[in-house]
Structure 1
Amino acid sequence: MNSRRIGLRRAPLRKQLNGSNIITNMRVFCFGLKHTRARYAGEVTMVDRWFGFFMEKVDELGLLRDTLILFTADHGHYLNYPGDGGLIGKPLSYRGERFPMYQSLVNIPLIVRMPDGVSAGERRKGIVQPADTMPTILDFLGIDIPEHCHGQSFLPLLLGKPQQRRKFAFSGAYNNITHVSNAQWSYGCWEKHRPPVLFDLTNDPLQTKNVLEQKEDVAAMLHGELIEFLQSIGAPEEKIERYQRYLPFV
């Protein structure tokens, strides 16, 4: 099934459909959605099974005592569940319409097994980004982290030690959308094409209401954090300038 926003209102022949055809179309859609979700669940089951085989082999080789294992992904996936914005797959645009990055896309799994099972079963609170993976591995191996590295080691977090933690997570797709979030706010903006969006995750976890107009101060703060982040990683000046001109209240 192609990645797209789902809905009968987008059917090309919607003006020609009578009641019975609408019911038939809905049945086809429901079957396709059920099939897509089942296939995705099957893939998850397959990964789980083969990762189990991998862990068994690591144990068989006697490596679990001194091996750090990280399980993660590069992005989430929409399956038209509540909070997915009516989307399937990972679309950021469709036929000229551009979509925010909902939490089910930007929140990704991170499961860590410490050597010899240290801290097994515990959860850690904090914001970790994919760019933090490499410096964490280097830190674990006792290798100096390069100064130009964009990420930071979260090994202290795993060990339960004090650490200066990230305040926000930054996500995006090149030349499409940039996303800033923490536990309370989800802010998305584009270099052009459409106005930004702001969701209050505390009161609206499914991201159904854009509160940008009511919370312009929050949007301005998050946009400022985005500018600082782009500057810190050495983003091209022209890109930073485009974002600096983006909002009238920044």
Structure 2
Amino acid sequence: MDAPGMQMPPLGDAEFQRLQRLMADASGIRMADHKRSLVAGRLMKRLRHFGLGSYGEYLDLLGSDAHKGERRLVIDLLTTNETYFFREPKHFEFLGPWLSSRRGPQRIWSAACSSGEEPYTLAMVAAENVTGNDWTITASDLSQRMLEKAAAGIYDLSQARHFPAGWLHRHCLKGIGEREGCFRVSAKLRERVNFRELNLTHPLPEQLGPFDAIFLRNVLIYFEAKEKCAIVGRLVQRLRDDGLLFIGHAESLHGLDLPVRSVQPSVYRRV
């Protein structure tokens, strides 16, 4: 049922606290109080979809066994962030020459890959710079829906606006017919990227890693210091000696007791 003309009901304190607990239990993410309006806006479409008049009714629906899939969708809606190819370009400007200077197989992990723009950017940088062309990308995310989109590798052509000259032609195929206005990452690159569902707040699979570089960007902003330290600690254990950890430019590891040292802003080396 859909009621497009329906007004947004208020998201009360008790309802928001229930959503905060749901997110914390399911993902480890503790939604800050100032996110209330964002949460209300993102979930309003689901209320309309079910023809519900309040967030309380929607939360009751989420608690029923018949709507387990809806709970997963809520996690997707509230953890999906804006992403695009070559976001925070200084990271890739640093990574390319670093990869060129190394020998042997290179393994890179995009730990919160969302809809795939980051791991495919990493794949392009690796293809352009790794000596011997021996490299793989592991890409993980909490959202199964985002992973499915990422695996398809199809994007609007506007997403190519930050590509270096010639890279769209070298690494992607432009759509024609029904796909005009889109591009698809080449099969040659897609086959080098392994997508998997992972919750970074849980223990990591034993077989994961080791990696030469890990990208954990724009994730730590959702967590408090203790949880941040635990997450980063688990990931750093999967880095090779002298491997690199990249975090978002708006994030910091300041004050966390971790075996890394800063190389440049938001780039750390395992020590």
Q: TM-score range by the shorter chain?
A: under 0.3
The structure carrying a bigger helix percent of its residues is 2
Q: Which has the larger Rg?
A: 1
Normalized against structure 2, the TM-score is what?
0.24
The structure carrying a bigger strand percent of its residues is 2
The higher-RCO structure (CA 8 Å, 6+ apart) is 2
Normalized against structure 1, the TM-score is what?
0.25
